[in-house]
Amino acid sequence: MFKNRLEAFTDGVLAIIITIMVLELKVPHGGDFESLKPLLPVFGSYVLSFIYIAIYWNNHHHMMQTVNHVSGRILWANMHLLFWLSLIPFVTGWMGENHFTNATLSLYGVVLLGAAIAYFILQKFIIESHGKDAILAKALGNDVKGKISPVLYVLGIVFAFVNAWISGAIYILVAIIWLIPDMRIEKAIKEQKK
Amino acid sequence: MFKNRLEAFTDGVLAIIITIMVLELKVPHGGDFESLKPLLPVFGSYVLSFIYIAIYWNNHHHMMQTVNHVSGRILWANMHLLFWLSLIPFVTGWMGENHFTNATLSLYGVVLLGAAIAYFILQKFIIESHGKDAILAKALGNDVKGKISPVLYVLGIVFAFVNAWISGAIYILVAIIWLIPDMRIEKAIKEQKK
Amino acid sequence: MFKNRLEAFTDGVLAIIITIMVLELKVPHGGDFESLKPLLPVFGSYVLSFIYIAIYWNNHHHMMQTVNHVSGRILWANMHLLFWLSLIPFVTGWMGENHFTNATLSLYGVVLLGAAIAYFILQKFIIESHGKDAILAKALGNDVKGKISPVLYVLGIVFAFVNAWISGAIYILVAIIWLIPDMRIEKAIKEQKK
Amino acid sequence: MFKNRLEAFTDGVLAIIITIMVLELKVPHGGDFESLKPLLPVFGSYVLSFIYIAIYWNNHHHMMQTVNHVSGRILWANMHLLFWLSLIPFVTGWMGENHFTNATLSLYGVVLLGAAIAYFILQKFIIESHGKDAILAKALGNDVKGKISPVLYVLGIVFAFVNAWISGAIYILVAIIWLIPDMRIEKAIKEQKK
């Protein structure tokens, strides 16, 4: 039952994050298409962040399916993850409104990196409390995606100061990597049931 | 269980969308009725969008009742739908605050069209993963409403540049079409149970 | 199951309404207590509206406990209620920021009246679809509170143009009437179980 | 079932509170790191309040696990708690934007004190309605944390007018006290099951 409430709380926070981001798209005073132009970069960063939150929601759901009991450590690791994700609307708006300057691009990467580390810690705690033979441990295997993402975020942060396009491309690349269907956990759950 | 969480997340996002739209009704500084006048077009567009979100919530619920298992494709098709719906508060505010200029009316139609196409794709994926004999496939039949709506949205977008009243009337017409009780899915579920 | 999702959606909307109202309490630029003074009327109207939303949540919950099946009519009557309640943050902010002028006080009453009528319609539809012997019908009895509230709201709207204090006092009075514990539905449910 | 809906409503309100606080982090117009500097105090107060809301969510969840039936008194005591917590985004923003002046620090303490008293009342009502031998009563024991917190908040309020650093340190101290794992209720539930 605790697990259900933790999921419901996480769902609520993610639903609000994904929706209030759109508030950064400030309604322009002009009523012609010209007035929308300045909003295009904000819109672009909104689309990227929307996809990131959706990925986190999806991964979080799959991971929680393998959880039997929620300890205090898991609870706080989850709160830690939500903290980083709660900063995404801010960095999204900052990045979009200032046309992807190097400072804004690097901070965007820092928040993504923080969320990735928080997710990694949460995953570690869940595996530790469920045993090495648990579904999640088996499903993750080498966890290539989980290991390569933080490296790419660091690259994105560094390249933010060199070339904004490369930095942005790296953040988009990570999103694409995660969008590619990942059946590991679903498979592991099915095999467990056999 | 995944289905329940997907529904809960969708409910959360729709509940937030329908409620933050009212934030576009900016509290005026004057305390007399005169100060409310400039808000009337914003209020009008709010009412229309409120009804649209309510219709989507209602249809989404009925459709999900026929779903047994949620695949990755269905999940992402649902996220795609939420993306378009998340833009409704923005286009609603833009349209209302700029007194239904042709640009704002056409963008409103584009977002409604995007949401309709996203809904159509979601419906298609659900039918495909449940078989042609599934409840949803039977319930939809010819799916006149689903097919006529995108056509009307396109008409609304085109007429936005000709006559704002016709364009607005078309968007209201689509809402009315959907408000007319649609018992198809409810009937199909009942028949299935017999 | 539909009932559960309708409750969850309603809970979500009410939770958001009750929380975004506090956004009308705009953080003042000064850091001393003096800067808070202009916010006192906004705070007062916030407290009143918080209590009203809490009462609606409570009554809605009790009423839904008696519902077995949700028809399309009940769904739309519920959406109609949510529409009026969604306007409460706006009228609360308008009333508070303009120091309870007669126009703001009367509009506040109009929205409360609209919500009361919407609630009455919802109640009527639920009774009609569950039969005269249903729990809700028995529990309501003469429904004195439900009948006296709209009358008091109308009085509040009229007195808004005569004396702001009387008008405000009437709205506070209705809230107090509803805060007095009302065991009717709880009793009726218990008796049913015997 | 009422309990579930009360929990869901509370979760919703807390999820919104924790997320809209980040809206006080207003996106700066400059795109360099220099522009972020003025936001640091707001960010600091955000982190503290995030932790407080997370603690309340956690404690609330554990307390509700021991509840069998929800009376009208418990419902309203819960609403009273939510009222104080709903003020946290406001006092957080006020404190951060005005660089922890004594007035803002003391009001922050007043809201924390109000929430602590509201939580104490809620706890009292739950114990009273479940009997002295109930799980919650046993689990709390002397309830040192619950008794020491209000005292520390009062100290924080008083010291706000003497030394801002001491006042702030006290609020951080209370958060740390609560972050230290508290197994009382979990233990009591487990023992009950034996």
Q: Please, are residues A21 and A54 in contact by the beta-carbon 8 Å criterion? A: no
Residues of chain A positioned with their CB less than 8 A from the CB of B20 = 19-20, 23
Q: How many CB atoms lie within 10 A of CB D9?
A: 26
CA distance D37 to D33: 7
CA distance B55 to B53: 5
Handedness of CA A70, A71, A72, A75 (dihedral sign): negative
- Considering only CA atoms, which of A182, C20, C26, A71 is closest in space to residue D94? C26
Residues 28-57 of B with CB under 8 A from C: 28-33, 36, 47, 50, 54, 57
* Beta-carbon separation of B19 and C23 below 8 A: no
Q: What is the pLDDT of residues D29-87, one digit of tens each?
A: 999 999 999 999 999 999 999 999 999 999 998 888 888 888 888 999 999 999 999 99
At residue B27, φ and ψ (nearest 5 deg) are -60, 120
Q: Is C189 buried (19+), middle (13-18) or exposed (0-12) by CB count in 10 A? A: middle
- Higher-confidence position of D184 and C140: C140
* Beta-carbon separation of B31 and C89 below 8 A: no
Q: Mind telling me how many Å the CA of D190 is from chain A's nearest CA?
A: 13
At residue D64, φ and ψ (nearest 5 deg) are -65, -25
Quick one: closest CA in C to D92, which residue?
C27
User: Which residue, chain included where needed, has tokens 């509201």?
Assistant: D118
Q: Is D59 buried (19+), middle (13-18) or exposed (0-12) by CB count in 10 A? A: middle
Residue B132 has a pLDDT of 64
C142 touches chain D (CB under 8 A): no
CA distance A109 to A91: 9
ipTM: 0.89
Spell out the alpha helix ranges (H) of chain A: 2-20, 40-65, 72-86, 88-97, 102-130, 135-140, 144-159, 164-179, 184-193
Residues of chain C positioned with their CB less than 8 A from the CB of B47 = 83
Q: How many CB atoms lie within 10 A of CB A96?
A: 27
CA distance B113 to B91: 13
Q: What secondary structure letter does DSSP report for B27? A: P
Quick one: closest CA in B to C70, which residue?
B186
Closest in B5, B23, B82 to A61, CB measured = B5
What mean pLDDT, rounded, does chain D reach? 89
Q: Mind telling me how many Å the CA of D158 is from chain A's nearest CA?
A: 30
B65 touches chain C (CB under 8 A): yes
Q: Please, are residues C78 and C6 in contact by the beta-carbon 8 Å criterion? A: yes
C154 touches chain D (CB under 8 A): no
D19 touches chain C (CB under 8 A): no
* Beta-carbon separation of D181 and A72 below 8 A: yes
* Beta-carbon separation of D61 and A2 below 8 A: yes
Quick one: closest CA in A to D30, which residue?
A98
* Beta-carbon separation of D11 and A16 below 8 A: no
Q: What is the pLDDT of residues D159-182, one digit of tens each?
A: 999 999 999 999 999 999 988 766
What mean pLDDT, rounded, does chain A reach? 89
Residue A105: pLDDT band (50, 70, 90) is very high
Q: Please, are residues C45 and C95 in contact by the beta-carbon 8 Å criterion? A: yes
Residue A120 has a pLDDT of 94
The pTM assigned to this predicted structure is 0.91
Q: Please, are residues C146 and C120 in contact by the beta-carbon 8 Å criterion? A: yes
Residues 84-103 of A with CB under 8 A from B: none
Q: Is D147 buried (19+), middle (13-18) or exposed (0-12) by CB count in 10 A? A: exposed
- Higher-confidence position of B155 and C193: B155
* Percent of all residues in chain D with a pLDDT value above 70, rounded to a whole number: 90
pLDDT of A57 over the 80 cut:
yes
Q: What secondary structure letter does DSSP report for A160? A: T
